[in-house]
Amino acid sequence: MKLKRILAIETSCDETSAAVIDNGTELLSNVVASQIKSHQRFGGVVPEVASRHHVEQMTLIMEAALEEAGTSYEELDAIAVTEGPGLVGALLIGVNAAKAVAYAHKLPLIPVNHIIGHIYANQLVQPLCFPLLSLVVSGGHTELVYMKQAGQYEVIGETRDDAAGEAYDKVGRVLGVPYPGGKHIDEMAHQGKDTFHFPRAMMQDDTNDFSFSGLKSSFINTVHNAQQKGEVLDKNDLAASFQAAVVEVLVKKTIRCAKERKVKQIVLAGGVAANKGLRQALKEAVSEELAETELIIPPLSLCGDNAAMIGAAAFTESIDSDQLDLTLNAKPGLAL
């Protein structure tokens, strides 16, 4: 069946979001209720608190998305929802709300992988061309995903320990900046210099995998040793040095893979795609080393979790008009 208008829902972590999107590219609304302020109290996302907030917000956010889009249920062709990966209790709210709306209005229901959603956020910027390479970086993921064609996902590199965003959060705690640390470290990094030369893990090895736990430990040791000696380290330099190490590995491996696979496009995806240092470094590296390759970087509003990207990804699915699996469940560990 030919799809036009989709109502999409995303609740995989600490953002309740609903969006209405036409033809997979035209955004009519994209409403996000962020719980960051709540979880800042605890220094990180508390899953049970996140689930409770989703129940408070879900119908309000769906209503806001429909109203902003000025659409009626009769004009909708399908409901899309993130089924995973993510926090199970959080996913369950979106999945059950989506099933209820789909059932109530006899609409097809399209389950969407959250990671694919992040990649397809770029489709809202310009059409994806294949083969492409996506660098997916967020609080839960650090992956290089090769797409030979639409619908084919091959993870050719991934983190062996912490996700990049997770390392940012942990380092942020040591630096005493509020959760989530990424944004603050990014700002501090622009005021400092890379003076500590932290290790670039797995930079020289043959795999496309990443590792950030060694970097994190090295950072923490540096700070603790200085504290014991009574030395005061420049926090901006610490931030700049940490960020330089993360960004250099991410960019180098992305460029190397893109060359090997001769891709037409490189697309950046995930919450850490909002990092200015990463955006800048990737732009420079692509223009210097891969002039023929197109780089797509989503606008900041589409980097964090949002339902628009879920709608964009859902649009690529071929579905039947009566596709409505009411047994759909949350899949917290869903792979690509």
Partner 1 sequence: MRILAMDTSNQSMSVAIIENNQILVEKTTNVKRNHSIQLMPTIEHVIEDANLSIDSLDRIVVAKGPGSYTGVRIAVTVAKTLAWTKEIELVGISSLKVIAGNAQQIEGSLIVPVMDARRGNIYTGLYTYKNQELIELERDRHVSAKEWAQELASKHEIVQMIGTDLEKHLPIFKPYLKENLLLLPSYQQLPRASVLAMLGAQEEPTDIHTFVPEYAKLTEAEENWKEANPNDLGGRLIEKY
In whole angstroms, give the CA distance from residue 171 to residue 174: 5
- CA dist 11 and 30 (Å) reads 13
Joined together, the tokens standing for residue 81 give 């929802």
How many residues form the binding site for partner 1 (CB under 8 A)? 44
Yes or no: say if 103 and 73 are a contact pair by the CB < 8 Å rule: no
Is residue 273 a contact partner of residue 279, using CB atoms and an 8 Å limit? yes
Binding pattern to partner 1, positions 226-255, x when CB under 8 A? Answer: ------------------------------
Q: Are 139 and 181 a contacting pair, CB within 8 Å?
A: no
Helix (H, G, I), strand (E, B) or coil at 162: coil
Per CB under 8 A, the segment of 25-33, 205-213, 234-242, 272-280 that binds partner 1 is: 25-33
Give yes or no for a contact between 36 and 180, defined as CB atoms under 8 angstroms apart.
Answer: yes
25 binds partner 1 (CB under 8 A): no
Q: Which stretch binds partner 1 (CB under 8 A): 112-120, 121-129, 202-210, 323-331?
A: 323-331
Please give the residues from 33 up to 92 whose contact with partner 1 meets the rule CB under 8 A: 33-38, 41-42, 46, 48-49, 51-53, 55-64, 73, 88-89, 92
Cα distances (angstroms) measured from residue 129 to each of 120, 229, 266: 12, 54, 9
Tokens, residue 293: 């390759």
Out of 13, 19, 95, 135, name the contact with partner 1 by CB under 8 A: 95
Among 25, 27, 100, 158, binds partner 1 (CB under 8 A): 100
Shortest Å distance, C-beta 77 to partner 1: 16
The residue (of 111 and 277) whose beta carbon lies closer to partner 1 is 111
Which of 81, 97, 164, 223 is in the footprint of partner 1 by CB under 8 A?
97
Both tokens of residue 318?
A: 């071929």
Beta carbons within 10 angstroms of residue 293's beta carbon: 18
At 305 the three-state DSSP class reads coil
Give the residue with the Cβ less far from partner 1, 107 or 223: 107
Pick between residue 49 and residue 290 the one whose CB is nearest to partner 1.
Answer: 49
Binding-site residue set for Fe cation: 114, 118, 305
Q: How many C-beta atoms surround the C-beta of residue 2 within 10 A?
A: 7
Task: Please state the closest distance from residue 42 (CB atom) to partner 1, in A.
Answer: 5
H/E element, 101: helix 88-104
Tell whether residue 265 is a contact of partner 1 (CB under 8 A).
no
Beta bridge partners of 296: 267
Binding residues: 114, 118, 136-140, 169, 182, 186, 275, 305
Q: Which residues are annotated as a binding site for substrate?
A: 136-140, 169, 182, 186, 275
Closest approach, Cβ 60 to partner 1, in A, equals 5
Query: β-pairing, 265-269 with 294-296?
Result: parallel
Q: Does 93 bind partner 1 (CB under 8 A)?
A: yes
* Structure tokens given for 283: 């732009």
Token pair recorded at residue 285: 């590296």
Output the smallest distance, CB 101 to partner 1, in A: 5
Nearer to partner 1 by Cβ, of 60 and 203: the residue is 60
Nearer to partner 1, 87 or 128 (CB): 87
Nearest to partner 1 of 253, 331 (CB atom): 331
Straight-line distance from the first to the last Cα atom of the chain, in angstroms, rounded to the nearest whole number: 24
DSSP state for residue 18 in the 8-state scheme = E
Q: Which residues would be at the binding site for partner 1 (CB under 8 A)?
A: 31-38, 41-42, 46, 48-49, 51-53, 55-64, 73, 88-89, 92-93, 95-97, 99-101, 103-105, 326-327, 329-330
